[in-house]
Amino acid sequence: MTIRHLKIFITVADTGKMSSAAEKLYISQPSVSQAIRELEEHYQTLLFERLSKKLFITEAGKRLYSYARPVVTQFDLIEQNMAQESRIQRLRIGGTITLGSSILSYMIRDLKKSCPDLELYSYVNNTRIIEQKLLNMELDVAIVEGQIKSPDLVSIPMVQDMLVLVCSADHPFAGKSAIKVTELNEQPFVMREFGSGTRELFETFIHRHHLHIRTAFEETTPDGILNAVKINGCLAVISLRLLEKDLKAHKVYVFTSSSHEWNRQFSFVYHKDKFLSGPILKLQEIVKSYDNIDYLHSLTGGVLIDG
């Protein structure tokens, strides 16, 4: 039994198909089948049931998966950390959607200037998916707005951010100096998808205040959210950083929370066993330099007050 066997087994379990695993690992399907067969012979147990050309992982397979995943992760960490000095440095940076739509590109631009020979890859998705990719060693570091759940990841708050309630310039709320939280009841909202840090924070707010809102749209991108706000009269809770252009053009109107419970921070995240190379430390320094949201506060309109 080798690390190669375990990697093939994990990929088959993740994809549910021998053919998909072979394609993902760039090996032949017979090689995948042979590796699974050798594992089953080694442990003298069935790892997958083959029914109607479909694979179903057995209880023994599930147990092996729970052991194999951290073993393979640790092996990849060893390989990656030991190779840092002997190969062209490559950094895989994750960012959540709010970051990717606002300041992530500028951070990467600054890193390229400081480390011109660094090979960079950037990936944007919601907090939940970014967290999983860090745990699976598919990303080296990430900047996220949501809460990191895994104890295996280090999360360092670095950049101030603030969510606001946004409506279109012709919405009945627009222009008001203040509205009450209870006025949000039964209002149509456009929401981020499940797994989003923004959605998680807003849903906590909804539950705390016992609100009953109507989810009229679910969107994954800031442009989609703002279209639902400006064209369809929805409300949304979104990062102030994403609204600068529309606020200056007077296309939207925003309310800040009087209780400041929508204030949050973007965090710099990496695996606890990660070797912090020079480029990672430089990126950390660059991320800190973007803690500059104060200039946007003058663009805010009304206040959302409790009661």
Report the alpha-carbon distance of residue 155 to residue 161 in Å, rounded: 16
**Within a 10 A sphere around the Cβ of 30, how many other Cβ atoms?**
10
Region of poorest pLDDT, from 61-75, 200-214, 286-300: 286-300
pLDDT, tens only, 97-109? 999 999 999 999 9
pLDDT, tens only, 54-95? 889 999 989 999 999 989 888 888 877 776 655 557 899 999
pLDDT at 53: 73
Res. 173: pLDDT tops 60: yes
pLDDT, tens only, 242-253? 998 999 899 999
Find all residues with CB under 8 Å of 64, minimum gap 6, and list them. Answer: 9, 39, 43, 47
**Within a 10 A sphere around the Cβ of 164, how many other Cβ atoms?**
26
Alpha helix (H) ranges present in the chain? 3-15, 18-25, 29-43, 59-82, 97-100, 104-114, 127-135, 197-208, 222-232, 244-248, 278-288
Report the alpha-carbon distance of residue 192 to residue 174 in Å, rounded: 22
Average confidence (pLDDT) over 254-273: 91
Q: Both tokens of residue 277?
A: 């190379």
Res. 51: pLDDT tops 60: yes
Contact of 241 with 98, CB cutoff 8 Å? yes
